[in-house]
Structure 1
């Protein structure tokens, strides 16, 4: 349950987000200013609006409506009837005009690397010395990309550079601040009247082309640009799309001023621009010039004759502090009290005190106390009601977000086994994992964390919790639930149920205590038990299980991600196949299905990768890589003595073809029967054949492995252990090969 302080902070956060969003939108379109308030904002007979842009004097639409030609605004009408305002001399689109600033359209430079020769387009903007405009310090120079250096050049050899770099999508996955990972920003000085951009790249994007083709450099209002991460670097993100986003949301802010004289100098001239009831303000850009502002108590356009009008503070109670009587004066007001009352009549003072006043302190105190108690009781009751409703709505939202409706649909269609899946509550799993404590973590992966949990019925389970969930992962989650509930096999990790009430879906599996085969092969957990006989037994168990999935399940199942990390080892060193998130059900009347390529580098069937046609032979190839791992002790992708990265499948086949099998065998196996090892190597080679139709089926692989096991004289690992240990040792379950139906 959320603490009341947390509720207040959360409410404040959402209010701030709304205020900032509305403020940015108002800034882009038509920023509020004192020169746009009042009855008259333009010279008599001159247009006031161009589209949604108010054009106040000293600016003007058309000749004779502006202070001088530098302030003239053109208003063009497009075919669809919309209007756009332009600075006449510089042909720059105007989004809004305020007391000291203009917001105008943003342009940018770019450099793209999707061909042998980079394409690029740079940008430059220059205002003349007599121009009233200069680039505001509210702007920042921004560079977006992953292998880019951008610089902004100005007069007097002014230059600022910005360097961006990132090596993977994860560096910029969620965007954020422009601190050099995908985006950087530099402040510019005040008074800049000219700039141009240049761009270059260290490696021409060769390391990042898969997710970033182009780099961008532009000048724009810092508060309006928010780096979004990958959406701003996408591999199909064109120059035009990025420009449309900048044009719609990120303006350039221009400072403006009258002439280049100070207020003291301008007061002596006949063309002094400030009218009656206004004051002169020196420009702070360092270029000279001034602006005008209505005096306190006045509003309107200080550049027009009689443009600054008195504000009647007494007409609006919110603009004065009087309790009883308010009297308006030019530029101000004063408060007073009726006859018989004393004091100044101001709410900020002692207000108006009636004669012979005796304040009812007792009644006042009782009223305040009772009112406070009622307020506390009401707020507390309202808090619990709202919090309960939020909890229910939150669970409903997460249920739908995590695929609950899809799972219900699968259940209503009576797919085999789905109705038996237990739906755990969020509270059950939170209790089972001691609120997901760090000491309950069994392992971490790229997509989530696996926790050890103890249910109320004392069962020990493994709880898989994703880090983040998108639509594709929801599909994988539902797919894994449906697949696992249709499998009843001792060598497949059992699924107990799932939870859909949390922010991310959770899966609850049986607990397998000894990690995965990858850790044992590569000695991360110590692999003293991995003798030749035990490696052969593990291989046979996996092969028998995959053959069962391909031929014996109610609907054939292709695992699609067979690898040593997905083979778990229990406390009696029996193999269990896990992670069916990428698996596919294959209708009985089909032998292949076109699908999105999923799998793990080093284990992925090259024919499947090339054609997107998934068949059971894709699992055969991946299993062949696992067998090569068992024989060599090498990883699927490894580096040789010369630090050159190699693919184990290609390396193994090449070694067998060149009669170099003995040199690549794991040290533990080099004293075993070479004839058996060669037969195993030939089986691996056949599993790794380029064409799927030439590879054996998993049933044929399982039969051959069982034959090799009989040659060793040991039918199972536990039979060997029973000769040395107590007879109470559990017996490893192995599916008989004759239980697998023919194809």
Structure 2
């Protein structure tokens, strides 16, 4: 340490030590059953971590338990949901008292008094257990149904016994009582019950409906109709912990616990968002605490190692036990065997050391041969030949990296270095030995029949030098799958910029227009200006990156499976993304430059509307943003779907111009779509008019741009602010009129 730090006073050092101890205690998830001097107990219920009562004793506010002393005996409640907690299981379940929903007749009329539960688990780590709960409805002649945010999800019907309410039944078999299962991952629902064929006329008793703990309802109740006297019933919730809190749960071999994501994969190898933990086999305790899982001593069972008339030693080991094959009466003989075994072991130790050293040498040689095999298998020899040929000038810009450097740059491809995953592979953030930050793409297995095409495309993409295309710096071919090294783009994707909040750099219409111009210019370069025309095949907002100054750059060419079409251009065989794919591609199976134009049209609509290319919140017919946009224009409802931020910043004629351009890009017939050169020119014309809207224009190119745009606006309805006639008129021949 430096001189200044060594000279710190004792009070300052003590304060730093206490702060460090507090941080360490929180990082390992609390090592004691108490916190801040308060026992984690409320009434008869023990509150285990990650739940807790005192501040700092629970992993998250959702797991905070309040202990209510105003109801007689202390009762625990989930603070944020205000639900009484009946018991907590570390296996990921929680029993709570949940309010019943009732429908009571009013003065013998068809009207009814409703008492409906209004507790939602949305956005919480809790959801209703499918395996532990059922939906029940009580009453004569019920017609009950259960709804969630997605619509009708279940229901049941019951009949009356002799047209009277059953009062002493003990089974819910469809007579005055019916039940139904519930779907998985249910976090919010509403229930409705109608009595006597849809009305309450003549009904004397109330009808009830609710989720309920199936084991409690069918096993603990002697009479199911006792539920009608209850305002709340037990319901089982599943709970999971958000991945962002994983630092508060220590997952090490010494803790003898395993944490897995909801889909069953390991916490260290998945990108899911929630997980649960369990103690390993042979251990018990709290898996969310450091050393919370303790070894089970199986040997307390004295009969465990008794066979016939002999009893052998039971030896407890972490996670299990074994029975010593030597009888208790033969301890002396066993000790002799142990001495002989130790002596033999020492002799064997030297033999093992020599064998290990030999194995290490052989393994090193094998690893070198393995790298040579992969290098040849991945087309390394062909690529070296291409780079060294006299007619290729990419030696200085393309580099062949070695696997050791890239493993070091990514910390052995640590999951914490993952920037994103897609159909072509996984992208990691890495730092080279010279300090340069790069993006390293670990691709999927290469098709051996396409080695020559792959190598050719790597060479051609290395020659691309455009400020709005992510630069390919080089590759590594001595691993099982090729590694491609790109320049690192720091500000994420256009999708994140549009749909995630960014208070430091909010989205504006000027920024939207600038991004569209840059992407269009880059695509025009790839289609027309590059030495060999290239079709991208997967233009979408997640493949458009933003640099440190929020300038757009096209990425993810999927170079691993490139093919040569008609020997005139390169195209990458990406499967594509629904919502962006050219409809004409499905009919002809031929991808053209106009297919990229269609995908860019979808991106333009996203910049205008702020909506995603595919959304389940829209009607089934209009889940595709392209269909939704075309339909809105045909109905003259363009300005009803434009993003509020765009409406605030942009002028009406600018929105109409860009909308018309997007509509032309989305034409069902590829031949009628503009080229990317025409698209780029139109967008630059909009930007030129935007910068000088009230100044007399003397430049011929600006006047020409205005004429070009007004020719595209000749079908636009002039009244856009009324709402009834706003938008853009269009011919129905280009798109079928859909009902959204």
- TM-score strictly above 0.5: no
User: So what's the TM-score if we normalise by structure 2?
Assistant: 0.43
User: So what's the TM-score if we normalise by structure 1?
Assistant: 0.43
- Greater Cα radius of gyration, structure 1 or 2: 1
